[in-house]
Structure 1
């Protein structure tokens, strides 16, 4: 990097710290004082990883001895305060005490949850540049001292005016970026323009609404000017802001702003009416909002220019005259604008304009369109037409007129109308996009969830899935039912953190992974360990595209064996299942919680529980209990009461639980899986212990054939003899004692299992022409409908299933 020569005596000493890039340490703390988000900068500052801090009290990070007692800074904040700044002593992971200046903003999400966003700038002192003291030469070029931002977009100087406006001192703001000083969409846009000034060297000008601390929204005109060094290189940006007034009308612009008046809901029609209500009578005597019809499934109209005649839907009208007589088209009706009319030209060009009724464009419109006769009938003398556009997409137009106001529209009025229209357009566009994304996400999620439950006889099953309210977005709750070998069945319920397409896509990937891991018959704790690794990899991929953090999820994995009537379970941060005994008592299975997936390096634990035949298992996601406006114990009691009531079917149980716990559309997804256990009795299962001697193969075939006769399955004897012969022979030849043969007759399925003491997995290979062996497993694969192996605590089991349909 080329630098301006500086005399040796005047050149400041350059240290490693001065070359260190600036960064921001950021954390989010909920109202209970618990850390919920932890940035890379925070880890860099204090040495703690997100896994060390997230979910822990923020007070533990304070160095003061009374930190735990008073709950930290968040507990000291006065009720209702929206911002806090000051210096706190923090404790580094290595024990060092760090005095840091902090700035905290309180904000509330759309779901009503309040959080504190806490930031601290970590940067060298940038007020001295290689060319001399930065503030002196920078402010010398500034037409009005306000604020200076360096090449890293961080504030290095602020004048008294900015301190007074934001009620923050320069020391509290220094080193922070503008959105970190004043979190607001206008700050994001201003920072984007600051970056453009640094890249292009060209000044930027903008108008924005600013809400000073504790004050009302004000309208400001902002100039962003490049500050250059002696070689003409842009080294900083000067931000200058002036409060605006409507000079042409001789009145101040409304100080209540439109931020609190337009876009109070996500409903497009309501937003259009709020725009019209804002304009009349503030700046116009009549306001009409016409929108292009949305594309199918909530999409936006084409972003291409709209030439010629345009048909739109009248969405909102407001007039100073009672009954809105100027509007010949009722709300909801279609209005047609001819080519070259001011509204059609505005929609095509994307630019607003002010007209006098004597202008050629207006007189031609009145002559061509009988629907424009109102202009002359009501004495209109001045008009404005403003486009509704968002993200380059044309949404419609807004027409303003004056007849009672004596002053014609001025450019200041057009500026205000464009700002109000931009606000409304953003909400309307977001509403349509939300509908489209919600529809797409619902379609994706439905395609990823089980469409039908698989055939199996171990469990009677009923399920329910309720997506979250559209405002919250569809989440990543999921469930699955997976048939396993030996007549066993796996039940899975999980919850991916977040909402939208990303959460649903992650859910689909996890469901696929679980099915793959279940197919190799991993124990529940090992299966969750593999899922944990997968989540870590997915989180790393997400971090490359989105600095907001990784992916998190919870999962409960249950395997039920109808032969032994035992459940094997493990969970990763997921609520435990509820059990209803055949006698009607309800309780939660005691399963160690385990950490949520994605933390890495932490163990999961498998437990077993014996369930009598006729027991009911209830698996669910936390949205079922969290939707209730009461504590968790009350929600559990309500669920237990609903489960305990006798019911004729499991569908009735599901509906009863949802009705009891959900009084309105949930803010989070809800997945519920209810299963009633069945058992395979002694007349359906037979077991033989075999000697590890080739001579017992013939006895094994005979015993199997005799049992098939008892079951009335003589027609399956030929295939069964071959399967038993091959599997027993392989166990004796390649395995270890003890050897055991088991036959299971499950409805229309006959299962043949051979277990031995060797953990070596079988491997099917293609035998050559003169090989004496190597064809056994190939023969098993051809004869059986399904076959495979599963590990056991001591050895393995090779199994083969036959379908009895048609026998």
Structure 2
């Protein structure tokens, strides 16, 4: 603190400022009077004139800039002096140097703000957070340069750093605006001068402080020429960015000619800030490695392009966010098509592996032609068993198998109907290709892996030319404006989208997930249309062996009408075996149906519940070869049972139609 007495003309007559001068590093002596007068600039004298005029105390703050002492923050208080008769006699003033306290608060605030660095798992974003935090109080300009291998998820070798090391500038912070030449933008690769603080920081792996620098320093002149450092650099700190003992990059803090040089305390603050950033950047690097491995595994486990069927044309839109969502189009028997969308909550390699298990299990259950509700119930039971096995293998109490959601929908082109069940997944949108879609009224059961549950199957009908939209929560959880529900927002976006199915998917994703979604955003969009009535032929048969020959002749005539006489011989053999099996082991009524799709489908339906199976007859057996022969002639064959609550089954066989 310094105390000053001014006379009635505001001339300095007495002072006691030894402590203040000592704080500035100045010895008291004859020259101190000039220095003290310099402390009291025009702003301070204006304040004292007001005190002298109004005879009321006042206080304020003064920023003092001195060539030798730099910038100092001073608190200034003045009060009027009066003689014994109460007449104005002068002004007394007290000056306190608050620079140390303000610097300490600034360092504390910088470190406190540094705790927020690393809330994302992106190395470039972490680098920008570091630059922005340090540029608020610690430095005029901050740059972060990172090795390319770190951005790709690889950790550099912790050994010697080669001289021609190249790094990529990923972020820069400067509160007063861009201070770098336009010739060196962010994202460019460069090397540092082979001498000076940059080289020492790289080789020694220790922070470097340069209190006073100028363009006369060759290394700084070269850095300025390359556009790596601001032209008005006065002082700088260079801190290596370290993760797991390996160099990941360099962080450089700059102060210009108008700012005080960096101090040792500034060096420790910068080092602490970069140390935290290095730890979180290394975590982000590890996440990049795992995510890349998970994406590679996912690509090997999910199908490529969706397979459209004769009655369902589909397109997929997908925005990844580290999750494990997938969608599928499955051709089923009877010209039906299954549409599937699923989402595993866990990310990384573990989530991708579990997604692969779920998808393989679902495909196997779909091959069995189960109703959607029964399929999801069996999938839930299988998920619980897999979870228990993983828990036993890991020896941990937490469930190793993550929670997953799944929607399974089957479209039947014979009557344009859909049956659907959901395990924790949003209901599909449906409607005509012209007009706005609406959400199907279905019961949404618990996600897979939570508990065993009997899932309900819902049914609804589509118009002749229908549209279906299946999606994940990630598509509708981040919506511009918020407010309306995800289903309504998706319906609006679909109604306004134009073009092909693929183009409409892209437009919807751009509208609903313009930024990073909160999960994988998947949209499965499908157009449906029924089979023409002329492509289906149905006959009601008596439960009599004579019906076999009637069925063969009827099928032969129908194939001739369709121009498929080349398939008559094999089709008659299949029809004979299917009808004979229904007459012998099934229950009336018996119905035979031929469907011309991309393949030729033969079906027999009866009300019996006995499922046929292939026998491998011995050489001396007189029977048991019918279904075996059917399995050899058909491209695919199988049995599907009627929905729960009814009795009956359909035995079907497919054969390829020649081009």
Q: Same fold (TM over 0.5)?
A: yes
Of 300, 311, 322, which aligns to 2:165? 311
SS at match of 1:294: helix
Superposed counterparts of 1:434-453, under 5 Å: 434-453=287-306
Distance 1:425 1:642, change over 3 A: closer
> Contact 1:479–1:492 (CA<8 Å) still a contact in 2?
yes
Match of 1:796 in 2: 649
Match of 1:388 in 2: 241
Shift of 1:423: 1.8
Question: In 1, distance between residues paired with 2:185 and 2:500?
Answer: 52
Question: In 2, distance between residues paired with 1:322 and 1:634?
Answer: 41
Shift of 1:490: 0.9
> Contact 1:308–1:344 (CA<8 Å) still a contact in 2?
no
SS at match of 2:545: coil
Superposed counterparts of 1:366-765, under 5 Å: 386-398=239-251, 415-459=268-312, 461-467=313-319, 473-540=321-388, 541=390, 547=398, 551-581=402-432, 584=435, 586-629=437-480, 633=484, 635-641=486-492, 643=494, 649-651=500-502, 654=505, 657-658=508-509, 661-662=512-513, 664=515, 666-733=517-584, 735-738=585-588, 740-765=590-615
CA deviation vs aligned residue, 1:546-566 (integer Å, no higher than 9, x gap): 849862232221111112332
SS at match of 1:765: coil
Question: In 2, distance between residues paired with 1:624 and 1:650?
Answer: 17
> Contact 2:118–2:277 (CA<8 Å) still a contact in 1?
no
RMSD: 4.7
Shift of 1:716: 0.6
Shift of 1:644: 5.5
Taking structure 2 as the reference length, what is the TM-score of the superposition? 0.68
Of 784, 787, 798, which aligns to 2:634? 784
Question: In 2, distance between residues paired with 1:434 and 1:665?
Answer: 16
Shift of 1:314: 7.0
CA deviation vs aligned residue, 1:561-583 (integer Å, no higher than 9, x gap): 11233222222232222222478
Distance 1:417 1:732, change over 3 A: same
Match of 1:40 in 2: none
Question: In 1, distance between residues paired with 2:480 and 2:176?
Answer: 46
Match of 2:58 in 1: none
Question: In 1, distance between residues paired with 2:274 and 2:167?
Answer: 17
Shift of 1:646: 10
Q: Which has the higher contact order (CA 8 A, sep 6+)?
A: 2
Superposed counterparts of 1:231-380, under 5 Å: 254-261=107-114, 263=117, 290-294=145-149, 298-313=152-167, 315=169, 332=188, 334-336=190-192, 347=202, 350=205
Question: In 1, distance between residues paired with 2:376 and 2:338?
Answer: 13
Shift of 1:795: 3.3
CA deviation vs aligned residue, 1:328-353 (integer Å, no higher than 9, x gap): 999846235659x8766754665557
CA deviation vs aligned residue, 1:102-141 (integer Å, no higher than 9, x gap): xxxxxxxxxxxxxxxxxxxxxxxxxxxxxxxxxxxxxxxx
Question: In 1, distance between residues paired with 2:139 and 2:442?
Answer: 67
Give the structure with higher Rg (CA): 2
Question: In 1, distance between residues paired with 2:500 and 2:256?
Answer: 70
Shift of 1:323: 10
Question: In 2, distance between residues paired with 1:446 and 1:570?
Answer: 26
Question: In 2, distance between residues paired with 1:670 and 1:324?
Answer: 39
Shift of 1:443: 4.6
Question: In 1, distance between residues paired with 2:363 and 2:289?
Answer: 30
Question: In 1, distance between residues paired with 2:579 and 2:348?
Answer: 52
Q: How many residues align?
A: 539
SS at match of 1:702: helix
Distance 1:474 1:349, change over 3 A: same
SS at match of 2:339: strand
Question: In 2, distance between residues paired with 1:705 and 1:367?
Answer: 95
Question: In 1, distance between residues paired with 2:488 and 2:175?
Answer: 57
Question: In 1, distance between residues paired with 2:615 and 2:501?
Answer: 46
More off after superposition, 663-672 vs 776-785? 663-672
More off after superposition, 264-273 vs 505-514? 264-273
User: Structure 2: any 5+ residue segments left out of the alignment?
Assistant: 1-99, 226-230
Shift of 1:750: 0.8
Shift of 1:418: 3.1
> Contact 1:382–1:409 (CA<8 Å) still a contact in 2?
no
Question: In 2, distance between residues paired with 1:652 and 1:269?
Answer: 31
> Contact 1:298–1:433 (CA<8 Å) still a contact in 2?
no
CA deviation vs aligned residue, 1:604-650 (integer Å, no higher than 9, x gap): 11122333421222222233333225567565445445555796754
Question: In 1, distance between residues paired with 2:467 and 2:247?
Answer: 56
Question: In 2, distance between residues paired with 1:532 and 1:349?
Answer: 57
Match of 1:53 in 2: none
CA deviation vs aligned residue, 1:51-70 (integer Å, no higher than 9, x gap): xxxxxxxxxxxxxxxxxxxx
Question: In 2, distance between residues paired with 1:761 and 1:770?
Answer: 25
Superposed counterparts of 1:137-176, under 5 Å: none
Question: In 2, distance between residues paired with 1:288 and 1:630?
Answer: 35
Question: In 2, distance between residues paired with 1:590 and 1:283?
Answer: 58
Distance 1:610 1:350, change over 3 A: same
Shift of 1:652: 5.7
Shift of 1:738: 1.8
Question: In 1, distance between residues paired with 2:576 and 2:125?
Answer: 76
CA deviation vs aligned residue, 1:742-770 (integer Å, no higher than 9, x gap): 33332441111123344333332333222
Question: In 2, distance between residues paired with 1:428 and 1:710?
Answer: 70
Distance 1:483 1:251, change over 3 A: closer
Question: In 2, distance between residues paired with 1:530 and 1:769?
Answer: 39
> Contact 2:311–2:530 (CA<8 Å) still a contact in 1?
yes
User: Structure 1: any 5+ residue segments left out of the alignment?
Assistant: 1-246, 358-365
CA deviation vs aligned residue, 1:284-306 (integer Å, no higher than 9, x gap): 999775543336x7223423313
Distance 1:750 1:670, change over 3 A: same
Match of 1:212 in 2: none
